[in-house]
Amino acid sequence: MTVFPLTNFSAPARGRRSAVVALLSVFALLAGTPAGADAQGDLTAAERARLQRGELVTRPAQRRVGGQVTFGGTSYQVVRAPLAEVWRAVTDPRRYADMLPQVRSARQVAQSGPSRSVALRHQRGPIDVRYVMNFLFERRSHTVLFTLDETRHHDIRAGWGFIRLAARGADQTLVSFGAMVGIDSGVVSVGMRPTLQEWLLKVPLTVKRYIDRQRSAA
């Protein structure tokens, strides 16, 4: 089940920007949470204070879409690096195995203009999940949109979301992330959903840790 596939990846830039706005709006409606870097103004005072202290802010969500229960939500993290540096990292699939939570491997399998298809494998203990995500990189808005590629092998039923970046001064970047995922009961037990949701919402934090490691090694 694809809730809103990103099928028009090769559309003109103007059309892609309209698609970005529309899809972020749909995500906000489905997840019931702010869906973009500009949404910081919608966060509570306590959440903004946590961001200022360098903490991860999460807003878990669970929704039923048709007959499929999806889980995920949105999360936010300030990274102490310029926007251009963070953008280079999140748009490079070769870095995903080192940057995203519990990703055992990430391999690009197709590319068309600003879109790429990436085969991902998550593995930890008894959990071993494989699927392919289609990514659309919209440079002008510093937004990454992704959706499950149902034409290839996938151990999950549904998956879609976004990463959006916004500069905070010259040397800090706000990373906003949102995703909703649906799984078959045969892939992992229902009792594992909270763990998977926790992994999912850690994406901005693991991006921060990756950038921190890269800057320390430089």
Q: What is the pLDDT of residue 35?
A: 53
Q: How many CB atoms lie within 10 A of CB 43?
A: 18
> In this predicted model, which residue has the larger pLDDT, 211 or 39?
211
What are 40-80's pLDDT values in tens digits?
Answer: 567 889 999 999 999 999 999 988 777 778 889 999 999 99
Backbone angles phi, psi at 87, to 5 degrees: -60, -40
What are the residue ranges spanned by the domains of the chain? 33-101+140-146+155-217
CB 145 within 8 A of CB 159: no
pLDDT at residue 7 tops 90: no
Q: Decide the pairing of beta strands 68-79 and 103-112.
A: unpaired
User: Which CB contacts under 8 angstroms, 24+ apart, belong to 184-188?
Assistant: 184/155, 184/156, 184/157, 187/129, 187/155, 187/156, 188/126, 188/127, 188/129
Q: What is the pLDDT of residue 71?
A: 87
CB 65 within 8 A of CB 182: yes
**Per CATH, which fold does 33-101+140-146+155-217 belong to?**
Alpha-D-Glucose-1,6-Bisphosphate; Chain A, domain 4 (3.30.530)
Rounded to an integer, the average pLDDT of 157-186 is 88
Place of tokens 């998977």: 196
Rounded to an integer, the average pLDDT of 79-83 is 97
The pTM (predicted TM-score) of the whole model is 0.81
